[in-house]
Amino acid sequence: MNIIDWFLDRFRLKTVHRGIFDRDIPEGISYFYCFGGIAFSAFLFCFISGLFLSLHYIPSEKEAYQSILRIQEEVPLGKLIRGIHKWSANVLIVSIIFHSIRVFVTKSYRPPRELNWVVGVLVFLIIMLEGFTGYLLPWDQKAYWATVVGTNIAGSIPFVGETILLIIRGNYEVSGVTLSRFYSFHVLWFPSIIILLLWAHFHMIKKLGISKPL
Amino acid sequence: MSINKQLEKINRRVFLKKVIKSFFLVISLILPFIWLTILKPKNPKRRDFKFFEIPKDKYPKEGLKKVDIKIDEKKYFKIFLVNRNDNSLIALSPVCTHLGCFVNFNRYNNEFICPCHGGRYDIEGRVITGPPKENLQRLPVKIENDKIYVGLII
Ligand code: HEM
Ligand code: FES
């Protein structure tokens, strides 16, 4: 027994491991069925490049912008990692949209897969929020005013608008408090929720299989 | 085992299940509350105006002038200074009162136009049309020792 087999056996991972490659796929599937996988890959790219960025980024009013400049100019590979984070985020959103179109066109949202559609929509919403919170982090003029305008939209809800605005911003204006909570959302809360949701998404796909093409 | 003892065992199991279930129910009800109370600031403060000097060469002789106010080495903030016909000066914030985009001044028809949803204001910042309901904010101006200062919330 070599070390890999030993590991897979002791981890009781063998069945799962085999499962992924032996699973039945219906006939007539096209490349459009790849967009879910592409989205997942893009998410992994985002996640890993984000882990590296968080090593050098400082989420404080005074230092955020400076630390971004440092990542861009001084940190080895910093520019590359930042680029990967930005571009994989874009690819992620585009491929989620294509993926949803594929699911819609092939009518794969029909029972028994309707719950997976709902989970998919939740993932999409949270990915959008990831984009929104991430955009503030460079803490430059564009970031600041984009967040002012974006949060003002929530603030324009009648009656509860001001309370919601306070809950989002942590202050009347977008300030250092906003920056630290957006950082927390961006790197801890939302990714954790996304991982939970993706687990649910994949669990259902595993149990229900890919729907037969029309 | 007597039948009574078995029943007791089952009851205990049912009871334990209920306890565990309600435990998780309570936790999941409490969490959103904690979340909201932690996020909502207790006594939020509105920031005060800080005053910045406007260099002499930036005064508009007539009409309107866009002025970049230096906040620190790297930060500038754009405001509009308007010299009204009666020779009084007002300072307008460029922040649209609808959702907060920066408005631009259009010299052809002498009005401010917001790029986001097309809000329009006249040269003194009063709403003409569009989604904004309030006029552009007038920034406090003060004159000390022959110098003009404008207050910004930064
Ligand atoms: C991070 C975002 C997402 C990832 C990584 C992801 C990943 C995947 C993957 C790998 C599959 C397997 C089939 C395929 O590749 O097409 C799949 C299936 C599915 N996805 Fe997603 N997805 C995401 C977002 C969404 C969204 C936004 C929706 C709906 C609006 C959605 C709804 C579905 C449904 C209903 C299926 C089952 C399709 C079938 O069985 O034919 N997903 N997803
Ligand atoms: S933000 Fe200016 S019109 Fe909406």
Reported as a pLDDT band with limits 50, 70 and 90, residue A9 is confident
CA of A15 to the centre of ligand 1 (A): 23
Average pLDDT of the residues of chain A: 92
Q: How confident is the model at residue A92 (pLDDT cuts 50, 70, 90)?
A: very high
Distance CA B39, CA B52 (A): 33
In this predicted structure, what is the pLDDT of residue A27?
83
Name which of A122, A118, A119, A142 is nearest A130 in CA terms: A122
Weakest mean pLDDT among A82-86, B28-32, B35-39, B86-90: B86-90
Q: Is the pLDDT of residue A18 over 70?
A: no
Contact assessment for residue B19 and residue B11, using Cβ atoms and an 8 Å cutoff: no
Of all atoms in ligand 1, which is nearest to the CA of residue A109? 35
d(CA A177, CA B79): 26
Number of H helices, E strands in chain A: 10, 0
* pLDDT for res A100: 97
A187 HSE (CA, 13 A, CB side): 19
Cβ–Cβ pairs < 8 A, chains A and B: 39
B78 → chain A, closest CA residue = A141
Mutate to test the interface with B, among A133, A171, A174 (most CBs of B within 10 A): A171
Q: What is the pLDDT of residues A149-207, one digit of tens each?
A: 999 999 999 999 999 999 999 988 898 999 999 999 999 999 999 999 999 999 999 88
Q: Residue A16: pLDDT above 80?
A: no
Chain B contact for A148 (CB, 8 A cutoff): yes
CB of A59 shorter than 6 A to ligand 1: no
Q: Is the pLDDT of residue A31 over 70?
A: yes
Q: What CATH class does A31-208 carry?
A: mainly alpha
Q: What is the C-alpha to C-alpha distance for residues B60 and B112, in angstroms, rounded to an integer? A: 17
What pLDDT, on the 0 to 100 scale, is given for residue A147? 94
The count of other CB atoms within 10 Å of the CB of residue B58 is: 15
**What ligand has the least distance to the C-alpha of A150?**
2
DSSP class per residue in A14-63: HHHHHHHHH----TT--GGGGHHHHHHHHHHHHHHHHHHHTTT---STTT
What burial class does residue B143 get, using C-beta atoms within 10 Å of its C-beta: 0-12 exposed, 13-18 middle, 19+ buried? Answer: exposed
A43: Cβ contacts below 8 Å, ≥ 6 apart: A88, A92, A194, A198
Q: Give the predicted TM-score (pTM) of the model.
A: 0.83
The shortest CB-CB distance from B44 to any of A145, A148, A166 is to A166
Whether A14 shows a pLDDT value over 80: the answer reads no
Q: Which has more confidence, B152 or A116?
A: A116
Asked if the model's pLDDT at residue A20 lies above 80, the reply is no
pLDDT of residue A206: 86
Tens of pLDDT, residue by residue over B125-152, are 999 999 999 999 999 988 888 888 888 8
Q: Please give the sequence-ordered ranges of beta strands (E in DSSP) within B47-98, or none if there are none.
A: 50-54, 63-70, 76-83, 89-92
Half-sphere exposure of B3 (CA within 13 A, CB side): 0
Q: Which residues of A touch B100 (CB under 8 A)?
A: 145, 148-149, 152
Residue A45 — pLDDT band, cuts 50, 70, 90? very high
Does the pLDDT of residue A22 top 80, yes or no? no
DSSP symbol at A185 = I
Nearest to A120 by CA among A4, A204, A29, A31: A204
pLDDT band at A19 (very low <50, low <70, confident <90, very high): low
Taking only the tens place, the pLDDT of each residue in A125-139 is 999 999 999 999 999
pLDDT (0 to 100) of residue A17: 59
With bands split at pLDDT 50, 70 and 90, how would you rate the model's confidence at B1? low
Structure token pair of residue A45? 């790219």
ipTM above 0.85 for this complex: no
Q: What pLDDT sits at residue A170?
A: 92
Residue A95 has pLDDT above 80, yes or no: yes
Please give the Cα distance from B97 to B136 (Å, whole number): 6
